[in-house]
Structure formats: C-alpha cells, structure tokens
C-alpha cells in the first residue's frame, strides 16, 4: 500500500508525521519512506540507518552539435518552453527551461540535438532493518522539482522485496510537484492545523485530491490551539479525521532536535496507533 503525507500549507507537520509513522510501522511491517519534498528534504534528519546507495539524478536535455546543424531553426519553433533559441549561427540550449520532451531532438532533420544527461540532484538510500529511507534532493538553482520526484518514485518502485507500506513525504502546496507526488498512491493523509491558514489551505488540498480522484483522510496537528473550524469543515464534508495530535511544547522541542516523537510522547504514539488501524483497515478494503 502506498500512502502520501501531504498538506496545502507548509510547516503543518508532514515530515514529523511521515517519519514517525514510518518508523513506528517498521516495528511490525516492511516499510519504505521516500522524501519527495525534493526542494527541502528533511526526513533524513529524523531517520538514521546504514548507507546503501547514493547516486546522481539526471534529466535528459538536448546538446547542440554545431558541425551537424544546418541552422533551419525548426528546433526553436518546436520548443514550447523557450529552452532552445537560435541566435544568428548559434543554437543555445537552456537546460533549466527544458522539459525533456525530446521534440527538438527527435525531429531535428540532421540529428544535431542529441539528448544528454544533466545532473539535477542526488538520491540517497539508507536502510535500518525493515525500514528503507530514500531521499531525493534537488540541486540548488534547479527550477523543476517534478522530474526528480518522478525519478525518485521510480527508484522506490524498483526496490525488492516490495514493502508492505510505502510512505511518501510530499512537498507542500497544490501545484505540479504535489500532483506528481500523490499520483498513483492509494491514500493521501492531509496534515493540517486548526488555524485559519490551516483551514484555507486544507480546503485547497481537498479540492486538489478530489480533482485527481484520490482517497484521502485528515490528521489535525497542534490540536488545542486555534479553533474548531477545521474539525467542523471535515465533518460537513464527510472527510475522515483519523488522528488529532495534541499541541505540546515537548513535541516542538523534540522536533527541533531532530528526534522522533512517539518513543517519548505516549499521546503521540496513541495517534499513530489510530492511523495504523485506519490504514490497515483501508488496505483490506474496510475503510474509506
């Protein structure tokens, strides 16, 4: 079963929930957690293990071969992203704008734009008994997170044996990186907080999930602060609230030190048990 932990608003506790849930579940199951917040990946701060693999991640971009080029200019006309520009007798390629569609390369009559790999980030794989931790990390200055998210997922899918649970720590927001990270998962857990910002961004996230037809459930973090509008909204919309994590300074302090919460805060562990129960039932087709 694949689960994505996502949220509209940043800083609601996605990584806290994803890392603790993964570590907790790994006591009874084989679990893989993948940090798909490749712009700011933080899962590794909370999870340790033996290094298995570290590799460069690439995307394919065209490279101009001047000797072959007849300067017909078709490549520039075909590129919808302004990534290939003709300047007099030179063809310039802007890799950061390229979406790797291959149109310029494959349609070039002279094969003067072969596709070459370009580094966009790193992937790291560590292992701790029944828990595999994968992290995608975008190079600074790279604009597009989506290709790296897609490639990190591909790596996760190639792991053997298949885990019982795969948990994706998704990026915040509602745009293309989130869609990429939540595509193909069985369940999305939306983490929110009981504030007007939390509610507003939760509504956006819910709309997104409905649009892409994902199953989703909500976890309310920092319960006890703010007001009850999030809970009322979920009730009205018939969205299951599967856990409520209390607002405790101790949780914030443990988090600040990069420590897991549930081994030291029983109330937090109780909420993880509730989530476990929900996802196990869900995986057996019992919950919706």
Binding residues for another protein (CB under 8 A):
8-12, 15, 37, 39-40, 42, 45, 78, 80-81, 99-103, 106-107, 138, 140-145, 171-179, 183, 195-197, 200-201, 204, 207-208, 211-212, 225-227, 249, 252-253, 255-258
Question: What's the closest the beta carbon of residue 244 comes to another protein, in angstroms?
Answer: 16
Question: What's the closest the beta carbon of residue 239 comes to another protein, in angstroms?
Answer: 16
When the beta carbons of 193 and 276 are compared against another protein, the nearer one is 193
Cβ atoms of 148 and 120 within 8 Å: the answer is: yes
Taken as a whole, the chain contains a residue count of 288
**Sign of CA pseudo-dihedral 18, 170, 127, 46:** negative
Give the DSSP H/E element, type plus range, for residue 188: strand 187-192
When the beta carbons of 88 and 158 are compared against another protein, the nearer one is 158
Question: What's the closest the beta carbon of residue 150 comes to another protein, in angstroms?
Answer: 9
Alpha-carbon 102 to chain mean position: 25
Question: What's the closest the beta carbon of residue 155 comes to another protein, in angstroms?
Answer: 17
Give the DSSP H/E element, type plus range, for residue 53: strand 50-62
Query: What is the rounded distance in angstroms from the CA atom of residue 118 to the CA atom of residue 60?
Result: 6
Question: What's the closest the beta carbon of residue 100 comes to another protein, in angstroms?
Answer: 6
Query: What is the rounded distance in angstroms from the CA atom of residue 44 to the CA atom of residue 259?
Result: 11
Give the DSSP H/E element, type plus range, for residue 31: strand 31-35
Question: What's the closest the beta carbon of residue 176 comes to another protein, in angstroms?
Answer: 5
CB half-sphere exposure, 174, CA atoms < 13 A: 15
When the beta carbons of 133 and 138 are compared against another protein, the nearer one is 138
When the beta carbons of 8 and 163 are compared against another protein, the nearer one is 8
Query: What is the rounded distance in angstroms from the CA atom of residue 190 to the CA atom of residue 18?
Result: 11
**Conformational region of residue 25, where left means phi above 0, alpha means psi within -120 to 50, and beta covers everything else:** alpha
Query: What is the rounded distance in angstroms from the CA atom of residue 181 to the CA atom of residue 179?
Result: 5
When the beta carbons of 206 and 279 are compared against another protein, the nearer one is 206
When the beta carbons of 163 and 177 are compared against another protein, the nearer one is 177
């Amino acid at each position: 079963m694949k689960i994505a932990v996502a949220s509209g608003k940043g800083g609601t506790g996605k990584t806290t929930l994803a890392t603790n849930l993964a570590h907790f579940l790994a006591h009874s199951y084989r679990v893989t957690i993948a940090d798909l917040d490749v712009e700011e990946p933080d899962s590794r701060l909370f999870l340790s293990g033996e290094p298995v693999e570290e590799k460069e991640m690439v995307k394919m971009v065209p490279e101009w071969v001047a000797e072959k080029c007849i300067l017909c200019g078709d490549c520039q006309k075909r590129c919808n992203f302004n990534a290939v520009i003709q300047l007099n007798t030179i063809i310039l390629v802007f890799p950061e704008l390229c979406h790797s569609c291959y149109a310029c390369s494959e349609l070039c009559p002279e094969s003067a734009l072969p596709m070459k790999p370009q580094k966009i980030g790193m992937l790291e794989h560590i292992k701790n008994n029944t828990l595999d931790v994968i992290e995608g990390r975008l190079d600074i200055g790279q604009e597009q997170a989506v290709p790296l998210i897609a490639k990190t997922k591909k790596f996760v899918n190639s792991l053997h044996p298949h885990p019982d649970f795969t948990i994706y720590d998704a990026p915040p927001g509602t745009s293309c990186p989130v869609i990429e990270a939540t595509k193909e998962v069985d369940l999305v857990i939306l983490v929110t907080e009981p504030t007007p910002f939390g509610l507003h961004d939760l509504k956006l996230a819910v709309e997104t999930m409905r649009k892409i037809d994902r199953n989703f459930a909500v976890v309310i973090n920092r319960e006890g602060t703010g007001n009850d509008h999030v809970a009322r909204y979920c009730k009205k919309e018939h969205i299951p609230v599967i856990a409520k994590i209390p607002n405790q300074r101790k949780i914030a302090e443990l988090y600040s030190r990069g420590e897991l919460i549930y081994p030291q805060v029983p109330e937090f562990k109780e909420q993880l048990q509730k989530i476990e129960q929900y996802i196990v039932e869900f995986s057996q087709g019992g919950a919706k």
